[in-house]
Each structure stands twice: as C-alpha cells, then as structure tokens.
Amino acid sequence: MTAQLIDGKAVAKTIEAEVAQEIARLGFSPGLVAVRVGNDPASEVYVRSKAKKARELGLHGDELILPKSTSEADLLAHIGHLNGDDAVDGILVQLPLPGQIDPRKVIDAIDPAKDVDGFHPVNVGKLHLGRPTLAPCTPAGVIRLIESTGAAIAGSNAVVIGRSDIVGKPMAALLLQRHATVTIAHSRTRDLAAAVRNADIVVAAVGRPLLVTREMVMPGAVVIDVGMNRLNPGDADRVAHDEEKSRLLAKNGTVLVGDVDFCRVREVAGWITPVPGGVGPMTIAILMRNTVTAAEWRRR
C-alpha cells in the first residue's frame, strides 16, 4: 500500500480561484497590508510573496516596511493608523519581531475585524466557542487538505502533535467543530506512539524532523505534515533510507524535511502531504480567503 499524495499546490489554486470569483462579486478590491519590522531575509521573501499574491488575485496588497530599530510605541501607532483606514480590510504583522517589541501587545492592538491571521484573543475565543471568525491560516488550510481527500472528519479519531497557539490549539478546535474526537499530543505526552497509533487523522506540527515513524501510523490514516525542518550534511544518516531527500542533500548541502518520515510513512498511510508542496501553499491561499471574508463582514 502506498499513500496517495495530497497536492497542496492544487488545492491552493482552487481556493485562489474562489477568492478571485468572490472579489469579482464584491465589485471592489479588498485591502491587505503586511507589516514587516527589520530586514530578516526569510520574512522579507514571505511578506513580499503575500503582497504579490494579493495583487495577482485582485486584492490591493501593500507592504509596510519599518526599520529594525522601530520602537514598540511607533509600531503600535502604525497599527492604530491601519485600524482606522477604511481602505484596509486585513492587517498582518510578520513574526518574529525585534526584541524591543512585545508581539502580544501588537497582536492585541490589531482590530479583530481586520485580524486576517486569526491571532487576536477575540478571534481565538470565537474559534473555541465555535462561532464564525477569522481562523488562523495554517490550521484552516489543513482542514481544506483533509476535506480534499474525501475522508470523513466527523466521528474520526484525530491526533494533533503540537500545542502552539498558531497551529496546534486552533487545529484541535477546528477538528472538534467538525465532530472529530481530538487528542493533543506534545513534548510531555508519555507514549506518543500509542497516542498516534489509533488515529484516523494525524496532524504533525511540532517542529521535530522525522518524528512520526511508520510504526506509529495506522494503516490508511490521513497524515498531514505541517513541519518545516532543514537538515545539513551532518544529518545524512537520518535520510539515508530516503533516496530523494538524500540526493537533494548531497546536491544542495541542505534539505527540507517535515515532522513525518515521509518515505516510510507513505508505505502505510492512506493519504499524506509532502514537504515541501503540501501545507505550505495553503497558508497564503487561506490568508487571501480571510482578507476577502473580513472585507465582506466589515461592510455588512
């Protein structure tokens, strides 16, 4: 048995088409502003890609780039200005922020109606109460990936590995809303293998490379790998059994792997996401969807 691949790029394209149609129906271009403080190369590429995708789909996408020395008060003032700008429907602040800025204060300062990342306490509370809200992008994207397989979420046993505020906790809430029986596993779970072994759905989001092994996965399970970990030549033995990853490591001197041992888990799972090309493309697609939703709700 070999698991079927869940193509995150294809599902993301479907969402993007939905977004473009919704924008055409609205008759105006919702505004999205991505705020970046400093010049972290990874953040720079990520923020630019978000703004670019927004413009491609018909949104008005802008970047607000501030120097690394920006004070907390100055950043909060910028957030206040964006909150009051009626042309702005979505605000996201790229994390991490420089050490002089408390990210919690910044997230709390964003108007919940414009919080397209879904991190504001008001939106978090609504999510856990099962009320309509702007849900965090990665967990919402994972739900779309699971649904794309046709596997039933209702009545299933689901295990979420990881309890972060950004992925693990909201992931569990979204699965509960769809009537799954949910277990959240984490670093202090006594027997992780036993917790995962009975799961129809496994979502790995803990940031530990190749943590989920073949022996841990129930045959036929849906396995979603949120992890993004980079291995170097010193880790060659960890991917020696994976011909493709070993080739990439030898060629590039580094290779990207998930929290799941893809090569071996694919032999028993029913469905599985690759890394890269699985969950990653979904995050930006859902961000666009949240921006359109925010624009629609605000104008109601």
Q: What is the pLDDT of residue 124?
A: 98
Flag residues of the chain having pLDDT under 70. none
The upper half-sphere exposure of residue 14, i.e. CA atoms within 13 Å in the direction of its Cβ, equals 11
Q: What is the pLDDT of residue 202?
A: 98
Q: What is the pLDDT of residue 46?
A: 80
Residues of the chain with CATH 3.40.50.10860: 27-111
Which of 89, 117, 200, 261 does the annotation list as catalytic? 117
Name the amino acid, one letter, at 122.
V
User: Which of these, 36, 45, 47, lies nearest to 97 by C-alpha position?
Assistant: 36
Which of 89, 94, 115, 200 does the annotation list as catalytic? 94
Q: What is the pLDDT of residue 187?
A: 87
For residues 98 and 37, the answer to whether their CB atoms sit within 8 Å is yes
Q: Is the preceding omega at residue 112 within 30 degrees of 0, hence cis?
A: no
Distance CA 284, CA 45 (A): 13
Q: What is the pLDDT of residue 144?
A: 98
94 annotated active-site: yes
Q: What is the pLDDT of residue 44?
A: 80
Q: What is the pLDDT of residue 168?
A: 98
Distance CA 46, CA 183 (A): 31
Structure tokens given for 154: 């209702």
Q: What is the pLDDT of residue 57?
A: 93
pTM for this model (two decimals): 0.96
User: Which of these, 159, 143, 152, 149, lies nearest to 270 by C-alpha position?
Assistant: 149
Distance CA 147, CA 270 (A): 14
Q: What is the pLDDT of residue 52?
A: 86
Residues of the chain with CATH 3.40.50.720: 136-282
User: Which of these, 77, 11, 22, lies nearest to 297 by C-alpha position?
Assistant: 22
- The conformation of residue 212, written as its DSSP 8-state character, comes to B
Distance CA 100, CA 88 (A): 26
Q: Which residue has the tokens 């994972």?
A: 142
The CATH class for the domain spanning 136-282 reads: alpha beta
Helix (H) or strand (E) holding 79: helix 72-84
50 annotated active-site: yes
Distance CA 47, CA 244 (A): 30
Q: What is the pLDDT of residue 245?
A: 97
Q: What is the pLDDT of residue 128?
A: 96
> Which superfamily does 27-111 belong to?
Leucine Dehydrogenase, chain A, domain 1 (3.40.50.10860)
